[in-house]
Structure 1
Amino acid sequence: MTGDRGWSDEPTPKRYPWQDDEYQPRQRRGTPSEHGFQPPPRTQNTRPLPDEDQQTTPRPKPPKKLTVTRVAWFRSKQLSQQAVAAFRRAAHADGAKKSGMSSVTYAVMMNYAADAAMAVALANTLFFSAASAESKTKVALYLLITVAPFALIAPVIGPLLDKIQRGRRLALAASCVLRIGLSVVMALNFDNWLLYPAALGSMVLSKSFTVLKSAITPRVLPPEITLSKTNARMTVFGLAAGAVFGAFAAGFANLFGSPGALWFTAVLCLVNAVLCMRIPAWVEVTEGEVPAALRSRKPGKRPMSRHIVVSLWGNGTIRVLTGFLTLFAAFVVREQTEGDAVRQLLLLGVIAGAAGIGSFLGNAIGARQQFGKPDEVVLGCVGTALAATIVAAALPGLVTAAIVGLLGATASALAKVSLDAVIQDDLPEESRASAFGRSETILQLTWVFGGALGVLLPPTFWVGFLVVAVLLALGLTQTWMSRNGTSLHRLVRRAAPATP
């Protein structure tokens, strides 16, 4: 049927409510899908949003005119941006940004960078000038100025940490600010005696920074990873930063001399002071904290377990080797290559490079692996260091010294990872910060003892490694006996004749 209005016999198409002019808002009348209507799918040109820790990096635009120089610049810029993005993802992984661990990692990296820059600046002065001294008096004076004060200052740091309830970030930043002043003093007095006490103070402040960092690390621990992996990751980042900024410091030393590298060190310390103050404020909270001690009968202190004591004995034994090799190698190389500065730096670079690779390898393995029996790992590390030292004593030379540096640094890193794991497992959260500060103090002292041996012993490879091998054997025995609940001290007391 048709009418005046041109209607046809076809049925009137059905109209849905949302097609009416009087259609109410969707939340009151329902959506089209609720009324049986499925609209056709639409393609959307959208990408997922990045994660909270993921940083979007703008891609550089390619050059309009292609030349070799512009293409090389574009490619280097692209690779640099990709490297920075990968570094940020690694530093913020496992919730590190949210917990504050990434801020501590940046500060640790800059401390390693400052140490590397200062080592490059002083490579031709502190070690070699003392190594050329022939009299025992001069060698003893060098030891007194550069090494011995560690043994006096290190025992103070641990107890002081237990008393500092507020201001640990400020203490970290203050150590960096003081290093700025000492770097300036060294740069302005590079050719006179003020260089030595300033260098000593800078090294002491660097060790103090390490102990302070160990005390605040448990407060920024992400729930996704363990404390041992956290420390291993920080060390890996620190070694990488030391290698990169050490190369920059070498460039400054080549262009402007050693004072130029020291001015660069001052700049790095300034940056580190700023990074320390950007560490989250919750690292200052110490309510309910219980100090830890090796053996304490005093109320209010928690004694460390036997497993922690075993790990400390093993780690301290290996630190004797690493401290010894650090200074002993400089004296031996100076003795064997008198007057040839280029060869001296080359040979020392081989030993130092092997030790750096070993430390990086050990921490990289520790960051990825989880050891079920830390005591056995520590004993194995001490045994490996002892075996390498015996081989170096039997076959003295640069190659075996480099092997000792490689294996010793790897063993030291793995043993330290095991020590961190034991402290986390055996102590409650309120005592971990104190335990880490105390343990780091002990390790610094044993390193100083090894460095003192490296200065006092004659610069002959087989003599030095033989003496250290004997000490490592005693340390391995003490570590084994501590695991069984006894010690060499008790054994000696039992064997001593009774006094009338």
Structure 2
Amino acid sequence: MSLPRDLRTLWHSRGFRRLTYTRALSQAGDGMFQVGIATAFFFDPTQAATARDIAIGFIVLLAPFTLVGPFVGPLIDRWQRQRILLVGNLVRLALVVAICAVLLVDADGSKWALYTLALLALSVNRFLNAAMTAGIPKVVEPHELLAANSIMPTLGTIASAIGAAAGGIATIIAPSATDANLALAALAGSTIGFAGAAWVVTGLGRRELGPDHPLESLHLVQQVRSLGHELRGGVKYLHARVTPFQGLGVMAAQRLLYGVMFVAAILISRNVLGDPDHPEQAIQKFTLVLGFAAVGFFAAAVITPSIVDRMAPQQWIVLSLIIGAVGQAVFAISSEPWTLFTATIVVSYAVQAAKIAVDTIVQRDTDDAVRGRAFTLYDMAFNVAFILAAVVGAMVLPDSGYSRPVIFVLVASYLAVAALYSRAPREPMPAPVPAQSTKSLTN
């Protein structure tokens, strides 16, 4: 397998093309949105100067979806995913307009209003990503899943990085270097991506992304009543299948380790590479970090399909964890920019390579009726891992962001997770598919 050949093969599928365009535009907008939010929350000279401040920002932004996430997965298995993508992108567009309005009216005194709107937008984003991932098996053949998981999510991640870079450039050419104007420049650009994604997804049939047996006729209140039962069934199913459950676990562990490095990169960009009193300098440096991360993500998309052809996805995950340890070790050499950028490429490559394999395992070993819940649990684990990473970073990282002892602990942790996962089973266990609740179905 090779990336160009896989892409040519998959591109014959109209559904795959449309879903890929949707994901690329959506995540490009999300990249610009994240730069705008980071500017407002993490690079404002008046706040977020320490790891503790950054941890609080991550918790406020990520914890709400982590709490409501269990109720999202069953909806992806109930509602038409094409409609989720259409309405979700329009909702994000409206939220970004509201955030811009708040910044224009009262940028300094409305942080909690911004937090509320931002966490709503980020929560919708995770909902959309879960719906798109759950819909991939509906537009490609089963034997093409690995290639699709190498290409579509990675192109989306690269689009996000390009969007972030564009957002960073927008902040550089902003009319004045206040945190509000810098944030507005990036946020305004994100509306183009969200609007474009909403338009492209209209080219997909309403039922094209599944689920096969939607229950759209249920009233919302009746739906919510049955979601808890369905979620418990989904967790039990994944646990009984073993391989997808353990895949979620290793993904969360790797994201936690990556998250600590991410927090460190924010602090280093803000307090070491740039002048803390000039947010545009810190944003430029952090945009460079995101650019190097995109290089790693792209390399993973190119290399992973050909490697996984020769070994099981679980083996590739173990190898990726070892590569991540090597990348962290490079960062221990010094605090010079070149070590940060090199480590960013290698660790991002390792994270994305493992993600491709985990996505494939979860999709391959999970029935379509449970797939939405599986990938919402995936996103919950992702958020929890980043929250824990922010908390750990607040506890162990200095304000400069650089600590050799912490880096060595990360190296050892990557190797420990690799050793544990190397013993994981390669094949799923039989498990009954939990049925969706229909006892309250009414028209």
State how many pairs are aligned. Answer: 390
Q: What runs of 5+ residues in structure 2 fail to find an aligned partner?
A: 176-180, 216-229, 428-443
C-alpha contact 1:392 1:465 (8 A) present in aligned 2: yes
Moved more, 177-186 or 472-481: 472-481
1:465 to 402, 407, 412: 407
Kindly report the root-mean-square deviation, in angstroms, between the aligned alpha carbons of the 2 structures: 3.6
What is residue 151 of structure 1 aligned with on the other side?
66
1:283 to 209, 215, 224: 209
1:413 to 334, 346, 352: 352
What is residue 210 of structure 1 aligned with on the other side?
129
Deviation at 1:479, TM superposition (A): 2.1
What is residue 107 of structure 1 aligned with on the other side?
22
1:168 is the counterpart of 2:81: yes
CA distance in 1: counterparts of 2:407 and 2:22, whole angstroms: 36
What is residue 177 of structure 1 aligned with on the other side?
90
CA distance in 1: counterparts of 2:46 and 2:408, whole angstroms: 20
1:237 to 151, 155, 163: 155
The 5 A counterparts of 1:132-147 are 132-133=47-48, 138=53, 141-147=56-62
Q: Relative to 1, partners in 2 of residues 1:230 and 1:180: Cα closer, same or farther, differing over 3 Å?
A: same
Q: What is the one-letter code of the residue matched to 1:266?
A: T
CA distance in 2: counterparts of 1:393 and 1:274, whole angstroms: 46
Q: Relative to 1, partners in 2 of residues 1:375 and 1:294: Cα closer, same or farther, differing over 3 Å?
A: farther
Q: What is the one-letter code of the residue matched to 2:204?
A: I
Q: What is the one-letter code of the residue matched to 1:478?
A: L
What is residue 293 of structure 2 aligned with on the other side?
355
Q: Secondary structure at the match of 1:128?
A: coil
1:116 is the counterpart of 2:31: yes
CA distance in 1: counterparts of 2:209 and 2:5, whole angstroms: 22
Q: What is the one-letter code of the residue matched to 1:284?
A: G
Deviation at 1:295, TM superposition (A): 6.0
Q: Secondary structure at the match of 1:226?
A: helix
Q: Relative to 1, partners in 2 of residues 1:353 and 1:241: Cα closer, same or farther, differing over 3 Å?
A: closer
Deviation at 1:410, TM superposition (A): 0.7
Q: Relative to 1, partners in 2 of residues 1:116 and 1:109: Cα closer, same or farther, differing over 3 Å?
A: same
Moved more, 417-426 or 172-181: 417-426
Q: Secondary structure at the match of 2:294?
A: helix
Q: What is the one-letter code of the residue matched to 1:268?
A: G
Deviation at 1:329, TM superposition (A): 1.2
TM-score (norm 2): 0.75
Q: What is the one-letter code of the residue matched to 2:271?
A: E
Deviation at 1:476, TM superposition (A): 3.2
Q: How far does the alpha carbon of each residue in 1:128-180 deviate from its partner, in whole angstroms, 9 at most, with x for none? A: 23894468875564344223334323344334434x2x332222222212211
Deviation at 1:234, TM superposition (A): 1.0
What is residue 75 of structure 1 aligned with on the other side?
none
Deviation at 1:433, TM superposition (A): 5.3
C-alpha contact 1:94 1:222 (8 A) present in aligned 2: no
2:138 to 201, 219, 239: 219
1:319 is the counterpart of 2:319: no
2:44 to 102, 124, 129: 129
CA distance in 2: counterparts of 1:428 and 1:144, whole angstroms: 32
Deviation at 1:361, TM superposition (A): 0.8
Deviation at 1:434, TM superposition (A): 4.8
Q: How far does the alpha carbon of each residue in 1:18-45 deviate from its partner, in whole angstroms, 9 at most, with x for none? A: xxxxxxxxxxxxxxxxxxxxxxxxxxxx
Q: Secondary structure at the match of 2:72?
A: helix
Q: What runs of 5+ residues in structure 1 fail to find an aligned partner?
A: 1-88, 486-500
Moved more, 324-333 or 148-157: 148-157
What is residue 365 of structure 1 aligned with on the other side?
303
Q: Secondary structure at the match of 2:44?
A: helix
1:93 is the counterpart of 2:8: yes
Q: Secondary structure at the match of 1:282?
A: coil
Q: Relative to 1, partners in 2 of residues 1:176 and 1:429: Cα closer, same or farther, differing over 3 Å?
A: closer
C-alpha contact 1:96 1:222 (8 A) present in aligned 2: no
Q: What is the one-letter code of the residue matched to 1:221?
A: V
TM-score (norm 1): 0.67
Q: How far does the alpha carbon of each residue in 1:424-475 deviate from its partner, in whole angstroms, 9 at most, with x for none? A: 5545566555544443443343234324433454334115424534543543
C-alpha contact 1:292 1:304 (8 A) present in aligned 2: no
Structure ranking higher on relative contact order (CA contacts 8 Å, 6+ apart): 2
Q: Relative to 1, partners in 2 of residues 1:447 and 1:263: Cα closer, same or farther, differing over 3 Å?
A: same
C-alpha contact 2:93 2:191 (8 A) present in aligned 1: yes
Q: Relative to 1, partners in 2 of residues 1:312 and 1:249: Cα closer, same or farther, differing over 3 Å?
A: closer
CA distance in 2: counterparts of 1:455 and 1:339, whole angstroms: 21
Q: How far does the alpha carbon of each residue in 1:381-423 deviate from its partner, in whole angstroms, 9 at most, with x for none? A: 1122123324434644433332332111111121122223334
Q: Relative to 1, partners in 2 of residues 1:127 and 1:91: Cα closer, same or farther, differing over 3 Å?
A: farther
Moved more, 178-187 or 307-316: 307-316
CA distance in 1: counterparts of 2:69 and 2:276, whole angstroms: 35
CA distance in 2: counterparts of 1:473 and 1:287, whole angstroms: 43
The 5 A counterparts of 1:302-317 are 303=239, 305-317=241-253
Q: Relative to 1, partners in 2 of residues 1:92 and 1:156: Cα closer, same or farther, differing over 3 Å?
A: same
The 5 A counterparts of 1:258-407 are 258=182, 259-280=184-205, 281-287=207-213, 296=236, 301=237, 303=239, 305-336=241-272, 337-341=275-279, 343-369=281-307, 370-393=309-332, 395-407=334-346
Q: Relative to 1, partners in 2 of residues 1:294 and 1:450: Cα closer, same or farther, differing over 3 Å?
A: farther
Deviation at 1:357, TM superposition (A): 0.7
Q: What is the one-letter code of the residue matched to 1:167?
A: Q
Q: Relative to 1, partners in 2 of residues 1:216 and 1:453: Cα closer, same or farther, differing over 3 Å?
A: same
Q: Relative to 1, partners in 2 of residues 1:130 and 1:465: Cα closer, same or farther, differing over 3 Å?
A: farther
Q: Relative to 1, partners in 2 of residues 1:439 and 1:304: Cα closer, same or farther, differing over 3 Å?
A: farther
